[in-house]
Amino acid sequence: MLQGLLSFELLGLSGNAWFTIAVILALFASMMFSKLRTDLIFVAAMSALFISGVLDVKGAFGGFCAPSVLVIGVLFAVIAGLNQTGVLNWIVKHLMGTPKTLTGAITRLMLPVALLSSLLTNTTIVALFINIVKIWSKKLGISPSKLLIPLSYASGMGGICTLIGTPPNLIISGLYTDATGIHLGIFTTTICGLFCLAVGILSVIALQKLLPERKSPLSGLSDDEMTLELCVPSKHNFIGMTLQEIYDSNPRGFEKDKNAILAIRRFDNEVEVATPDSIIMGADHIIVSGKAEQLQWICNNLNLKNEHLEGVIENAAVGKKFGKKTVISAAIMIAMVLLSAFNIMPLLSSCLLAAAAMIIFRCCSSTQAMNAINWEIIIVFAGSICLGKALEITGVASKIANSILSVSGSNPYITLAIMCVVATFITEFISNTAAAALFCPIALSAASALGVNQLTFCIALMIAASSSFATPIGSPTHMLVYGPGGYHFTDFVKIGIPMNFIILAANIFITTLIFPF
């Protein structure tokens, strides 16, 4: 029935093409203006494209089997092993120092964060560093808000330095391989990424006066305390209770306010300082402080979870130190990178081998590995590939590419700049993974129409998709630091807009130099 209704043509596009555009616009609107979960929005989009006949079963749901998506899922298990054995904590401890100036602090923070983010998921790294920055900034006499934005920026720019550093890189490389049959190496983006990272760090230092000095709702904690953001499930018994009632009913977890709930991030992402009369609602996130052991008890016994920090808290709670398993898990990670870098083994195969080794050598249990997988992210990635395929097969991608070419006058530099500007703008409001998957077919079509190197456009798009600096909703890592930093929305705008244009210029310069048209 629906397929029959779509059998028309308007302005050179088929009914299927117009339906695809409508689905994508609805997806954008839902992500920007509704409070629906992102994974549910993508499931609805995939289902709509399948039911309408725009895509068959393989096209609509085949993204779950795509190598790039499988790599992302397997990497969660690898990261679980690194978390459980304390590798990340050891690295952080030995890379941080005691700089005397804000410039030195920014540099000493952004470099190790970028290094770690090039090999691990940036949300994990930022979650690990938030508490470290809180303690470190107190020792340095610097407001945490001066360092948490650079922390988030570094994680994004570090991610573009390797193929596995950020999901958009894997998504775009997978689509590029599908289109050309050429597999990219794990370090394909490294030179371009390092150049943009260097420019980015120097730019943050030059623009440091634009970094705000805010009073965080998490300030005033002692050095041996930790902070944790925990989600309240929609059917939790805390819902409808005041914080005072929660304290009274759970004396072990919140004994004498030692683990007081400091702030509440509401379901609409508004952060408010908690008071005893504050009422908890479904989908709220409560920000709690306390000793690692007590926070672990809260996670285990009160059905409150934070998928990013659980491994970090467990390490702190049991006091894990550098030992044999730490060396083994680090060696497994290095071996995974080397096997892929020297084309000894495909990326997916090396990641699967690393995940299996983590379990075999008991760096983490199979349960911990499975629990580390963020299924919401997997669904979003698979759905992004589905939308990209729909744009390609319906001809929407080539139509948009031709429109861009008509504006640019078929100049490859101007075409590339327009594509990167639009992609960066879109990622300020929706998932960078979704934006990458949507723009990759457009980039490939534009490069093909111009008769230039398609890889040039794909590498530039990878960098553009991870260069959203101007809004706190432009990246999950921005939202992670938003509450702890006590930021206002405009704080990101002031420093983020100049950063967007600086990295855009650096991106086009270095990408066209390393990967000529």
Q: What is the pLDDT of residue 89?
A: 66
Q: Are residues 13 and 395 in contact, defined by beta-carbon separation less than 8 angstroms?
A: yes
> How far, in Å, CA of 277 to CA of 257, rounded?
14
SS3 state of residue 304: coil
> How far, in Å, CA of 336 to CA of 46, rounded?
33
Is residue 81 scored above 90 in pLDDT? no
Least confident of 76-85, 217-226, 262-271, 431-440: 217-226
Q: How confident is the model at residue 512 (pLDDT cuts 50, 70, 90)?
A: very high
**Residue environment code for 409-427, b if the CB has 16+ CB neighbours within 10 A, otherwise e:** eeebeebbbbbbebbbebb
Q: Are residues 87 and 95 in contact, defined by beta-carbon separation less than 8 angstroms?
A: no
Residue 500's identity, in one-letter code, is N
Contacts of 233 (CB under 8 A, 6+ apart): 282, 303
The 10s digit of each residue's pLDDT in 92-126 is 666 677 788 899 999 989 998 898 888 777 766 77
SS3 state of residue 335: helix
Q: What is the pLDDT of residue 312?
A: 45
Among 386, 383, 381, smallest CA distance to 59 is for: 386
Phi first, then psi, for residue 272 (nearest 5°) are: -130, 145
Full 3-state SS string of 149-214: HHHHHHHHHHHCCCCCCCHHHHHHHHHHHHHHCCCCCCCCCHHHHHHHHHHHHHHHHHCHHHCCCC
Considering 87-101, 370-384, 418-432, 488-502, the range whose residues carry the highest mean pLDDT is: 488-502
Q: How far is CA 345 from CA 163, 415, 515, in A?
A: 15, 36, 25
Across the chain, mean pLDDT equals 80
| Largest interatomic CA distance in the chain | 70
Structure tokens at 153: 């920026």
The 10s digit of each residue's pLDDT in 6-57 is 666 777 788 888 888 898 888 878 876 776 777 788 889 899 989 888 888 8
Contacts of 344 (CB under 8 A, 6+ apart): 338, 350
Q: How confident is the model at residue 76 (pLDDT cuts 50, 70, 90)?
A: confident
Is residue 269 scored above 80 in pLDDT? no
> How far, in Å, CA of 98 to CA of 365, rounded?
36
